[in-house]
Structure 1
C-alpha cells in the first residue's frame, strides 16, 4: 500500500501550485491521472525510489460561498490528516497568520502524524526570516519557508517528507490466489448493507484476516472452490466517524481499497442516481486498472418506469468514458439479485486476465487498415505496422507505429472502440501503447 502525503490549508495559499511543483521537481516522477473534472486531486509520485500518493485537498474542496472560510474546509483538513501518513500544511507568507490558519492548526494538533508547516510565497530567500517568526504562534513547530512558484526549498522538503514516511510493509496474503474485490462508493449508498448481505449468505465460508494495512480487515469468502478477498477499509462495517461525509475521506478510503483489488464493485444509490462523486470513484478504479461492476442499489425504492429511466440516464451520462462497465440492479436490504454479483465479478475478472493471440490481433489490425481511417499531419501519415499484447490485468496492447506523436486522444478512443467491437472486454479497462518502429523508414512514411 502506497503511503499518502496530503497537502492541506485554506483556499488561495498555493496548495495546487505546490503539488504541481513537487510533481515536477528534479527526480520526482509523477503520473497524473486523467480526471473526470478539471481538477486533478491525486498523483502517483516517486522520490528517490520511494513511491507515495500526493493528494491536493484543494482539488476536492466544495465550491466556496461568499464566506471564504467554512466548516467544510476544516473537516477536509482534519480528514486529510487522519488518513494521510504525512501532512503538508500550507500557509501564505505574504499575508501572515489568519484566523482561518489558526482554526486549521488547532484541528491538526489533534492528529499525531508527521506534519510540515510550509510558509509559501516567500519568493525572496534573503528576507524570508522577517516573515517566518509570526507563524511560530500556530504551535506546529518550525515553519519552513518555500516558494511553490519558484521552487525554492521544495527539493529539501521532499527529502524530509520521504524520510518521514512509514517503513514499507508487505501485506500478509494467506491466500495469494484469492481474487481481490473492493466495495466502493459514496457514503450511505449501501456499502455496509451489501457487505453484510454478502457475508450472510448461507453458502459462504468466511474468515477474517487482519492485514498490515492500517485499520483494514480482509474478509475471505469461499464459493464453489473459488476464493475472494473482500477489501474492507476502515469504517466500512463499524460505526462511521463524523468525517465520513467528507469527500476527501471517502475518496482516499476508496483509493486504498482499489489499490488492493482486482474487481471494484461501485455501489450507487438508485434513489439519487449516479452522481459526480460516483463518477470520480469509478474513475479511480479505471485509472488503477480494476475491472468495474456498477451495482444500482435500492432499485426496489423506485416507483415507476419513469424513475428507473431517469436513473439509467444518469449512468449513461456519467459513464461515457466507460460504457463497457457491467451493471446490475440490486437491493442490499432485501437481497434482490445480490447472488448474481458473483457471476459478474467472475466474468469481469476473466476478461481482465485474458490473453489474445498475436495472430488474432494482427488480423484485427489488417481489418483496421482496410477501413482506411488514420491520422495525417502535413506530409506525415500514421501507419500502424503490428500489434501485440504486452500485459494482462488489465489487458495491455502495444502498437508499433511510425509516428507515435500523431496518436491523439480521439484516435486512441477510436482504436479502443474498434477493439471492443472485435473482442470481448466487457467489465475491464484496457491499456493501449503506441511505440515507434525503427526499421529504416523514411521521414513522412
Structure 2
C-alpha cells in the first residue's frame, strides 16, 4: 500500500499511548486532550474496544495520541484477546506512554501487571493519576503505594474538569524532546513575558490557548529562541516571547528540594521578563503559595497584569465563592468582578495599579484581551515624562497636600523631582537636609503621579536625595 503525504506526516509524528486497566478514565482524558469526542465514554468497564487515534497540538507541535482499551479486560469479554493485541501495538508504536491509574481506587493486581509490562517495554512512561477531582485527592498522589509501581510520583489530573491536563501535556512535550531547532535572533520589538502562578491555576492551558488563537502566528523559531522552551509569537505585527513556559509545570511539593526548585524557577522567569502575567484561580481563595509568588513579583519591581483565570466557573455559579463574602446569591453574576477585586485588593498591594483580565483558558473567552494589555503595559514601563511637565504637576500636587514628616521633628521640604530611570520608572526627590518623608506621603505622591501620567501596571520607585 502506498502512503499519502498526510499519512507519512502522521506516521512521523511523535506518538503517545494512553494505557491502563479498565475504567480509569483513559477515554475521557483522551477526549479532553484531543478535543474529539469519538471515543465511547461510560462507567461500564471495558467500553473502549479498539484504539482511537487523534492529533492534538501542544505548544505549536502536533502530537498523535492513541487511546486504548483496558489491558485487563473482564473475564467474560469476547473481545479480550483483540483488546490486548491493540494495547500491545499501541505500546510498540508509542514514543511516550501515559500509564493511567485511578487515584480513588486501591492499587490492585491489574495495575501491578501493567506496571511490570511497561517496565519491560523500555519506553518512557508517565504515571498519571486520574480522577483527582479535589484538592485532597490531588495530595494522595504522593502516597508510597503509587511509587511502588516504579515510575515515581504520578501526575495528578482530573479528566472530567480538565485540572492538571495542561501540566501533563508539558511533561509529555518535555519527554518527547521536541525542541532541537537552531537558535535565532529576536525581533527588536519583542516583549518578554513570564506566566507566574502556583500549580493547577491553568498557566499551561492559558499559554496553549494564546498560541492557538487564529489571530496569533507561532514563529518557526518557537520554543528555541534562547532557552529550551521559550516561545515567540506574533500578534498584529507585534512580537511576544513567552519565557520558559514549560518550566511552569514544575510544581512546589511537600518534599524539600522540589519545592525550592519550583521557587527558583519562578525567580528566574521573573528576572528574565519584561512583563509578568500573575495567574490566579478565581474559583478558589488566595493561598499562601499565591501570596509567596506575589511577594517575589512585588520585590522584582516588574510590570504586572493579574489574570483571573477560570472566570467561567464564577459566571456559571459552579462555586459557592464564600471567600468573596457575597451574602446575596443574586449578586454572583452581576457583581462578582467587583467583589473579587475587593477581595484580592485586601491581600495584594499591587492590585491598586495592576490591571486585571478576567478570562477562561478552558473556553478561550477573553484570552485575546491579554495581547493589547501587554502592549500597553510595555509602553507604560518605557515612559519618560517631560521634566517641565513633571515639575508643573508636582507643584500642583504639593499645593493640594503638603509633605508630611517621617522621623525627626523638622518639617520636610521637597525642592525638586525628576525621573532618572525607566522600567521601572524611578523618581529622584531632592529633600531638605535632616528631614524625612512619611511613607504615606510617598504613597499619595505615587497615586497623584499615576493619575496625571498613567504608568498602569508598572511599579514606581522613589529615591530620596538630601
> Under a length normalisation based on structure 1, what TM-score does the superposition of the two structures give?
0.54
The counterpart of 1:342, out of the listed 371, 378, 382, is 371
Identify, as 1 or 2, the structure richer in strand. Answer: 1
Partner of 1:202: 214
Cα contact 1:332–1:338 (8 A) shared by 2? yes
Partner of 1:271: 283
Q: Mapping of 1:160-199 within 5 angstroms?
A: 173-199=185-211
Compute the displacement of 1:312 (Å): 3.2
SS of residue in 2 equivalent to 1:374: coil
SS of residue in 2 equivalent to 1:221: strand
1:418 aligns with 2:448: yes
CA distance in 2 between counterparts of 1:242 and 1:259 reads 19
Deviations 1:168-202 (A, max 9, x none): xxx98533431001111111000000011111112
The counterpart of 1:316, out of the listed 336, 345, 354, is 345
1:331 aligns with 2:360: yes
Compute the displacement of 1:257 (Å): 0.9
The counterpart of 1:389, out of the listed 400, 419, 429, is 419
Partner of 1:293: 305
CA distance in 2 between counterparts of 1:259 and 1:385 reads 34
Q: Mapping of 1:28-427 within 5 angstroms?
A: 173-207=185-219, 208-210=222-224, 216-236=228-248, 240=250, 243=253, 247-302=259-314, 303=317, 305-306=331-332, 308=336, 310-376=339-405, 380-403=410-433, 406-427=436-457
| Residues 254 and 351 (structure 1), Cα distance of their counterparts in 2 relative to 1, 3 Å cut | same
Question: Of the two, which has the highest radius of gyration?
Answer: 2
Query: Unpaired segments of 5 or more residues in structure 1?
Result: 1-170, 437-445
Cα contact 2:251–2:259 (8 A) shared by 1? no
Compute the displacement of 1:277 (Å): 2.6
Cα contact 2:381–2:425 (8 A) shared by 1? yes
| Residues 244 and 232 (structure 1), Cα distance of their counterparts in 2 relative to 1, 3 Å cut | farther
Number of equivalenced pairs: 262
CA distance in 2 between counterparts of 1:365 and 1:242 reads 45
SS of residue in 2 equivalent to 1:290: coil
CA distance in 2 between counterparts of 1:244 and 1:183 reads 22
Cα contact 2:303–2:459 (8 A) shared by 1? yes
| Residues 378 and 267 (structure 1), Cα distance of their counterparts in 2 relative to 1, 3 Å cut | closer
CA distance in 2 between counterparts of 1:404 and 1:206 reads 57
Greater shift after overlay, 346-355 or 314-323? 314-323
Provide the aligned C-alpha RMSD in A. Answer: 2.6
SS of residue in 1 equivalent to 2:352: coil
SS of residue in 1 equivalent to 2:341: helix
Compute the displacement of 1:221 (Å): 0.5
CA distance in 2 between counterparts of 1:242 and 1:360 reads 47
SS of residue in 2 equivalent to 1:318: coil
Cα contact 1:396–1:431 (8 A) shared by 2? yes
Deviations 1:211-269 (A, max 9, x none): 665xx4210011111111111255336xx568499653433222111111111111100
